[in-house]
Amino acid sequence: MVKNSDFKEVDMTSLLLPENIKSNNNHRIYRSIQNWINKEYLDPPKIHFNAFEKKIEFEDGRHRAKTSYFLGFQIMPVAIHVEDFEAVRGLIKISDMAYAQN
Domain hosting 82: range is: 2-101
Please check whether residue 77 is in contact with residue 65, taking contact to mean a CB–CB distance below 8 angstroms: no
Q: In what order do the strands lie in the sheet with 5-6?
A: 5-6, 55-60, 46-50, 79-80
Handedness of CA 4, 9, 13, 17 (dihedral sign): negative
More confident residue, 9 or 88: 88
The reported pLDDT for the residue numbered 9 is: 67
- Mean pLDDT is lowest, of 8-12, 17-21, 48-52, 58-62, for 17-21
Mean pLDDT along residues 32-51: 89
pTM of the model as a whole: 0.69
Number of domains composing the chain: 1
Is a pLDDT exceeding 60 seen at residue 35?
A: yes
Is a pLDDT exceeding 80 seen at residue 16?
A: no
